[in-house]
Structure 1
């Protein structure tokens, strides 16, 4: 009789554990989006999209990209690396003066992994905040982790620094950093474009960039389709303004 009771207790314990595991939130995209902690895109009725550029500023490619954006009256968001921003303050100032948004992409662009302590994560983010502020007089409000790699610790530190974590639309990962061909980059954007997209591009890549030539085709085509190019913060604001009042 005692053995039966023990078996029943074990079974009940197992069911309880399974129920707890099932009830616990799975930390995938849906989990973070529901909590408003991470943004991948901002779908809506307005034909607006956000072009984002990572890994700069770069003295070679960033000026060409800024020239193109000006030509098509496009605003963009530059996720800058702190140590590069410190070396090229004039480019940082130009981005700000021409109406673009400057966001935080860490100081050294090391991928966050389990070896990173909270202090090291904080230093990567805080140093870039300080550099951007010292050059422009404004602190970034947005953050993108290198390689899109984050966990609870990264999000917690970003939030402590007053930063919103921004990813990109999965259907708009152009992989321009790998130089897949101008045609690939162009087709990736144009064939998948949707209202509220956050498009991932780079104003620095290792080797000969294909991003500038791709933009020469992407910008006029999206212009013809009636899309407006806005900063990520403007994209987020437009979504808030579209929420109907509960009064």
Structure 2
């Protein structure tokens, strides 16, 4: 089982120190303006890193399976919803596939029966923030920690405590590391996504997933209800195609098995 690493400087901190140590002697050269180059490159890295879900620039992020693990894990974000979660659970049960649901605390609090159904079917649950605020990583450290903690508290009242947090849209920030450390959580993103816009872009969903999927992937899909009955019917048809192919052609494993550590623990 993989364990937490002891605290250490992040790649961002190390890169920042390297940029500063490089800039100082350059400032005393004949062209002191060159001192701005390493600092500018560091700033660009800081601006780009939050939008790279596989990046561990600011904090350790798990985005795919542990070394040597060749299975694939299914994950569903943004739920639960009465109009979509039962459909997903029925299809997963039909194809006997495990999944992890990264739930939004506000939705979980409104629909505790769906959290109970997810757990009763043997799936696992992760923390996906309380309100799915797209700008959450720009909030203060206190607001960020309070948001994540609120979801932990909601789920603890339902008998489970997630060990992983998936930030909205996979965006990270330097503030996330201390917030997660205070709550004994780790960050998890994904290695395969198809930009389905929360089930708003579902045509050819199955083909798009199957074209990209690789052994060891953590696949990101969504638990949002499509916008209309027609789109819902298409979503169900695409899921049938996708899950059927996955069950026949790939080794779908619980997320805990893929990353070689538990995803959640029982609470209370």
TM range (shorter): 0.7 to 0.9
Q: Please, which of 252, 257, 265 is the counterpart of residue 228 of structure 1?
A: 252
2:163 matches 1:141: yes
What's the offset of the Cα at 1:220?
1.3
What's the offset of the Cα at 1:205?
3.8
Q: CA RMSD in A?
A: 2.9
Q: Please, which of 185, 189, 192 is the counterpart of residue 209 of structure 2?
A: 189
C-alpha contact (below 8 Å) 2:64/2:217 kept by paired residues: yes
Higher mean C-alpha deviation, range 109-118 or range 53-62: 109-118
* Deviation by residue 1:117-159 (Cα, 9 ceiling, x = unmatched): 11111121000000001012x2111111112222010232123
1:10/1:141 CA distance change after superposition, 3 Å? same
C-alpha contact (below 8 Å) 2:54/2:190 kept by paired residues: no
Q: Which of the pair has more CA radius of gyration?
A: 1
Query: Equivalent residues in 2 for 1:25-174 (5 A)?
Result: 26-27=45-46, 28=49, 29=52, 32-33=55-56, 37-42=60-65, 45-112=68-135, 115-136=138-159, 138-169=160-191, 171-174=192-195
C-alpha contact (below 8 Å) 2:58/2:177 kept by paired residues: no
TM, length-normalised to structure 2? 0.74
C-alpha contact (below 8 Å) 2:126/2:164 kept by paired residues: yes
What are the ranges of 5 or more consecutive residues in structure 2 without an aligned counterpart? 1-26, 262-268
Distance of 1:123 and 1:200 partners within structure 2: 25
1:85/1:223 CA distance change after superposition, 3 Å? same
2:216 matches 1:199: no
1:133/1:186 CA distance change after superposition, 3 Å? same
Higher mean C-alpha deviation, range 106-115 or range 187-196: 106-115
Distance of 2:39 and 2:103 partners within structure 1: 41
1:30/1:130 CA distance change after superposition, 3 Å? closer
C-alpha contact (below 8 Å) 1:57/1:80 kept by paired residues: yes
2:30 matches 1:11: yes
Aligned residues: 227
C-alpha contact (below 8 Å) 2:54/2:189 kept by paired residues: no
Distance of 1:174 and 1:15 partners within structure 2: 40
Task: Please give the secondary structure, in 2, of the residue aligned with 1:139.
Answer: strand
What are the ranges of 5 or more consecutive residues in structure 1 without an aligned counterpart? 1-7, 239-247
* Deviation by residue 1:149-200 (Cα, 9 ceiling, x = unmatched): 220102321232111111122x4334152532332x1111111111111111
